[in-house]
Structure 1
C-alpha cells in the first residue's frame, strides 16, 4: 500500500503542548524530576520578578549531559513511554522538561556540562510560531546567557525559562503584581516540600531563592499520637503495591500553628484520602477516587500507596505526573482498608472531646472528657466534676454510688480512644500476670456486681465475661481467674 509522510505543523502543535493542563507547581516539580534523575544532590530554584520580565532558573549539580544527550532531551517526542524505565527513574514520557517549561514561558534555554564540556540549546516559541518550523537554537542568545550564570563544577545543568507570559503575564496587559507573584512562589514551595518529602528526608537539598526547603510529612509520622496501621502488600497485574494507612491525632492535640501546618496546602478536610507515590515521589494526594466521599469524620485518615515506575500503565500516570486512576484490581482492597480506617477516624472524632491540658480540673467544666495528664499517650477520663454528674451522685446511696462509679470506669476503659492507645490488645501470656491494683480492684468489683445481680454465678462464665469487657482485653484469663479465686469466690462462699 502507498503511504504519505505527513509532518505536523510546528506552530499549532507547540501551542497545544502549552495547554496540556500544567499548574505552575506541577510544572516546576516535573523539571526538578530531571535533576533528581541526573543524581543531583543540590537543586537551586530562582524566581526573578523584574516587573513581569523576570525568569525562572533551576540549577542542579547532577551529572550533566553530552551534546547528543542534550539534543535528545530538547527534541519533542524523543522518548517512547512504552520503553522500560531505569530503576527509580522519575521520568515518564521524556516530555516534562519541554512541556513543563512551555506552560510557564515562551523561551526555554538549557546549559549543561559533563566532565568540563559544555553544551547548550534554546527553544524560542515565538520564533517557532513565526516560521512554523521546529527550529531549535544550538546557542543560547547572549541577552539570556549572562542572566543564567555559569556552572562552576565539572558537571551540572541550568534550566532557564523566561518570557513568562503564563506565569506572570509577560507581554500582556495583565502583569501579575509583586505581592501576588511571591504568594505564588510560596505556594510552589509548600507543594514541593510535600511532593519531594521522601527525597528531602533522604538527603536531597532543594532551595528556592537560596532558602532551604523543609520536608512536610502528610502522615505526621513523628507525632506520638499518630496511628500507623499495618502495611499491606497487594499485587496489581503481578506488580507489588505497598499500602500503609495512617490516622492522624485529634485536632485538639495541636496548638493553632501546628494545626494549620498539619492541615497541609488543602486544609484538613481536603487532605484526607489516598496519597499516591511513584518511586518515592508524590504524584496525587487528598483523593478517595470515587470510593468514598469526603466528610469531617474522616479527615484524620491519610493512606499511603507506593509503587515503582514499572506500574505506570496500571495506574495511568499522565504526562504531568499529577493524575492517576485506581486500577480495578486494587479497588476492592483499597475500599476495605479505607472503610476500616475511616471508622477509626470517626470514633476518635466522635468520642474524643476537646481536652483540658491544665493539671487542675476546672470545677463545673462542661467537657465530658479530660486528659488524665499531659503525657503523649495519656488516657482520657470522664469529667467527674461535671455539674450533672455531681448532682446525680448526691442523690443516690453509697451502694448505688459504688456501682455507678464502677460503670463509669468501665465506660472509660472501653472508650475508643483509650482502646486505640492500649499498649496491648492481644493476649500472649499463659501464666499469671502482674496486674495494676486499680485494674485488680475493678475486676473484683465487676465480678461482685455480676454475682449480686445473679446474672452469672459460674466461675468460668464470670472469667469469660470479664475478659471480653472493653479495657480488660490485655489481662489473661488465667490472671482473672486467679484474682477471683483468691479475692472474690472464696470470700463469697
Structure 2
C-alpha cells in the first residue's frame, strides 16, 4: 500500500483549445457515423422529419446541413448543447449519452459548426469554430434576425418548420476531393449510397414504424432543382424463412452490471441476396454477430465482441443476434458504433440459454446450416477437390490428373492475406480458399522469391491435410481444434526463422 501523500496546493488546468479540438477531430468518426450522431439529437427532440443536405459547387462541398422539425431550443438549452460535455439530464429514452455528440461529430468533419434553432417563434443561434475554441473557448452568439433568415432558407425543403433545429458544418477539411474534372461527382456517387445504407441500418426501426423520415439532398449552388434521396430502412433481421428449423430462439443472459438480457438468435437462409442480409456488401460475411440496440437505435452492427474468435468466420455467415440494451449501464464508444464488453460480460453472453439450448448450440446450428447449403449446392456427387489458384499451372494439371482423372473437379485456391498474429493460415470454407498470413510470407519462403505460385510445398501439404473438410460434413469444433494445433506447430517454425532473420 502506498503511503498517503498530502495535498499542499491546487492548480486550475483548463484544456488547451487547439490541442483539444485536434484530438476531437481525430476521434474516429466516419462521415455516416458523424451524421447519425446529429440525428440522435433530432430524435431526442421528437423530430418526425430529418434532411441532410450537401451544398456544393463544381469542385467542392461547401457546407453540410442537418435539419429537423423537432421541438427546437431556447437559449438555455442551446447553451447546454454547445457546451463540451455539458451537464445534461437525459431522459431514459434519449439517445444522447455523453453531451459530446454534437461537438465531436461536427469537428470530426469541419472547422466551423453553427446551430440555429426555432422554438415558439423565437430564433437562437450560436457558432463554434476552431479559432474560437483556441481563443479561450469563446462560443459566438449570433444575430437572431439574420439567423432566422438562414433557418428559413435551409431548414427543410419547402416551408421552414415553425420549430426545429438546423446544424451547419462549414470548412469541411475531411470532405476535400481533388480538383480533377468529375472528382466530386465520383466521390458523391459512392458516398451518398454509403450514407443512405448506414442511416437506413442505424435507424431502421424508426423508419419502419413511420416515426421518422430521413432524406439526403445534394444541392448545387447554381441549380434550383435538387432531388432528395429518401433513406430506406435496412433491417438486418428481415427474412422470409429462417435458415434452420427451430430458429430464431430467445436466449436469456445474466449480464454483469445489467441483469437479465434477452438474445434473439437468428439464422439467415443460405444464399440470400436480400438487402437486409448483404447490407451493401458482396457476401454479407462481415455482418455476422451481435446487433445491440438501445431505445430502438442500432448501436453496434455485427461483430462478436470476443465471444467468438474473429468477426468474419465463414461458417458463421448466417448467424446474427439481436440484443436490446437498457438505457444505461454499459459503455458505448463516443461514436455509438460499438460496445465496450468486458471479459466477464463476454463469458455471460456465451452462456446465454433458454434452458434447453445455449449460444454454443446456436453457433453450431448456424455452422451446420451453412455446411448443409454447400452440400446442396454441390449436389449429391460432390466433385473431388484439387489445388487451384496460387499453385503453378503444371502442378495443378498434374494434381487434377492424379486426383480427378477426367472427372470435373472443384478447385481450392490459395491467397496471402491479413490474419491474426500467430495464425499462419486459415481455411475459408465459403470461398474455397486456404489463406496464408502475409506477415509470415518471407519466413515461409525462407529466402525464396515471392510470386503468384510461391511456397508450393507448404500450400500442397495444407491442401492435402484439409481438402476433405471443404467437401464433406465434419465436426466443426474438431476441425477448428485441428487447425489451431497445426497453426501452433507451424508458428514454432516461423518464430525460429524470424529470430534467425533478426540475428
State if a TM-score over 0.5 links the two structures: yes
Structure index of larger Rg? 1
Q: How much has 1:295 moved relative to structure 2?
A: 2.1
Counterparts of 1:159-170 in structure 2 under 5 Å? Answer: 159-168=167-176
Q: Distance in 1 between matches of 2:274 and 2:260?
A: 34
Q: Distance in 2 between matches of 1:115 and 1:144?
A: 13
Does the Cα contact within 8 Å between 1:45 and 1:57 map onto a contact in 2?
yes
Q: Distance in 1 between matches of 2:31 and 2:185?
A: 16
Residues 127-178 of structure 1: CA deviation (Å, up to 9, x unaligned): 544xx321211116969964872553321001111111112359x9999632
Q: What residue is the counterpart of 2:363 in the other structure?
A: 342
Q: What residue is the counterpart of 2:87 in the other structure?
A: 79
- SS in structure 2 opposite 1:93? coil
Counterparts of 1:1-80 in structure 2 under 5 Å? Answer: 1-50=8-57, 51-79=59-87
Does the Cα contact within 8 Å between 1:39 and 1:62 map onto a contact in 2?
yes
Q: Distance in 1 between matches of 2:11 and 2:319?
A: 56
Q: Distance in 2 between matches of 1:225 and 1:328?
A: 31
Pick from 337, 340, 348: which aligns with 1:322? Answer: 337
Q: Distance in 2 between matches of 1:281 and 1:213?
A: 15
Does the Cα contact within 8 Å between 1:109 and 1:140 map onto a contact in 2?
no
The alignment's TM-score, normalised by the length of structure 2, stands at: 0.63
Pick from 201, 206, 217: which aligns with 1:194? Answer: 201
- 5+ residue gaps, structure 1, are 357-365, 370-493
Pick from 200, 206, 209: which aligns with 2:214? Answer: 206
Pick from 327, 331, 337: which aligns with 2:346? Answer: 331
How has the CA–CA distance of structure 1 residues 69 and 173 changed in structure 2, closer, same or farther, with 3 Å as cutoff? Answer: farther
Pick from 265, 274, 291: which aligns with 2:290? Answer: 274
Does the Cα contact within 8 Å between 2:332 and 2:339 map onto a contact in 1?
yes
Does the Cα contact within 8 Å between 1:168 and 1:176 map onto a contact in 2?
no
How has the CA–CA distance of structure 1 residues 270 and 208 changed in structure 2, closer, same or farther, with 3 Å as cutoff? Answer: same
Q: What residue is the counterpart of 1:223 in the other structure?
A: 240
Aligned: 1:352 with 2:373: yes
Q: How much has 1:368 moved relative to structure 2?
A: 2.5
Q: What residue is the counterpart of 2:261 in the other structure?
A: 241
Q: Distance in 2 between matches of 1:18 and 1:302?
A: 33
What's the C-alpha RMSD, in Å, of the aligned pairs? 2.9
- SS in structure 1 opposite 2:136? coil
Does the Cα contact within 8 Å between 2:115 and 2:168 map onto a contact in 1?
yes
- SS in structure 2 opposite 1:287? coil
Does the Cα contact within 8 Å between 1:194 and 1:216 map onto a contact in 2?
yes
Aligned: 1:133 with 2:152: no
- 5+ residue gaps, structure 2, are 1-7, 218-227, 352-357, 382-503
Q: Distance in 1 between matches of 2:265 and 2:124?
A: 46
- Specify which structure has the higher proportion of helix: 1
Does the Cα contact within 8 Å between 1:301 and 1:342 map onto a contact in 2?
yes
Aligned: 1:184 with 2:203: no
The alignment's TM-score, normalised by the length of structure 1, stands at: 0.64
Q: How much has 1:124 moved relative to structure 2?
A: 1.9
Q: How much has 1:259 moved relative to structure 2?
A: 4.8
Q: What residue is the counterpart of 1:308 in the other structure?
A: 326
Q: Distance in 2 between matches of 1:246 and 1:62?
A: 35
Q: What residue is the counterpart of 1:115 in the other structure?
A: 120
Q: What residue is the counterpart of 2:164 in the other structure?
A: 156
